[in-house]
Amino acid sequence: MFPLNKILNRIIEYSFYLLFFLVPLVMTPWNYELFEFNKTLAVYFFTLLIVFSWGAKMIIQKKFLFQKSFWDLPLLIFLGVQLLSFVFSISHHTSLWGYYSRFNGGLVSLACFALLYWALVGNLRQEKVLNSLVCLLTSGFIVAAYGVAEHFGVDAQHWVQDVQNRVFSTLGQPNWLAAWLVILIPLTWAFFLRYWRLSFRNWPLILVSVVFLVYLLAFLYTKSRSGLLGLGVSFMGFWGLLFWLTKEIKKFRWPFLIITAILVILNLVVKTPWQPRF
């Protein structure tokens, strides 16, 4: 049974890697909803694979495998409210599956997200979670690079929308791309701090810096005002918490100044709706 348990662990681990890497990239021309519907189906597929493997592990080990965390109760309360919303809904189909052409935002998709959280907490150790973040950032780099290429007209002839003016890459909507990048950009700051050391041969730091720059360019090319607000909140929250929790302002002074300078300079160079006019 030990080899089977090891195989199941591998299935869970690599399913999470594929989930984080593939879902942002998934899009097809074969149905009406090119973007979100296909991503949602991919999430459902990996959720089934992960939960099935997790359940098989419990059967083999003959015990309930669950790692408690701070977010368990809030998630259960949230899902309970969603269940009540489904029960008393005037449209059970929409409440269950979500918006009709996307299959997202309903009880099923929310339950999938909760199950994925619990499966990750209960089955992936810290180094595996770090690997998952690397997969996510790698996928994000591809998405952002495609968004930057869209701004320069790589596929302008294929879209009715003015994609060069406001890019959306593989997410299908500029504000969605901006919101997603607002989540990823602070992760690049965290890796920037992890590898911080001034050296021309510090390749991890150089790589993280390039990823951050591409993310930021794609973000600015979305021209999303709500995204800018979100980035401002993320910036203040990230650095505020870092300085407050570590009490080491001097240690992180240069990374903070460098990242702030990049944000300001690119915002001034790239034409955006919020750019100062002189």
Give tens-digit pLDDT for 187-242.
Answer: 999 999 998 876 667 888 999 999 999 999 999 999 999 999 999 999 999 999 99
The CA-based angle 245-125-66, given to 5 degrees, is 100
pLDDT at position 276 is 54
Convert 135-175 into a string of H (helix), E (strand) and C (coil).
Answer: HHHHHHHHHHHHHHHHHCCCCHHHCCCCCCCCCCCCCCCHH
Q: Give the residue extent of every domain in the chain.
A: 1-123, 125-278
pLDDT at position 95 is 92
Contact at 8 Å (CB) between 147 and 221? yes
Residue ranges, the chain, pLDDT below 50: 278
pTM: predicted TM-score of the whole model, two decimal places: 0.90
pLDDT at position 43 is 96
Structure tokens at 168: 């959306």
pLDDT at position 278 is 44
pLDDT at position 197 is 76
Cα-Cα-Cα-Cα dihedral sign, residues 8, 9, 10, 11: positive
**Other beta carbons less than 10 A from residue 267's beta carbon:** 17
pLDDT at position 209 is 94
pLDDT at position 48 is 98
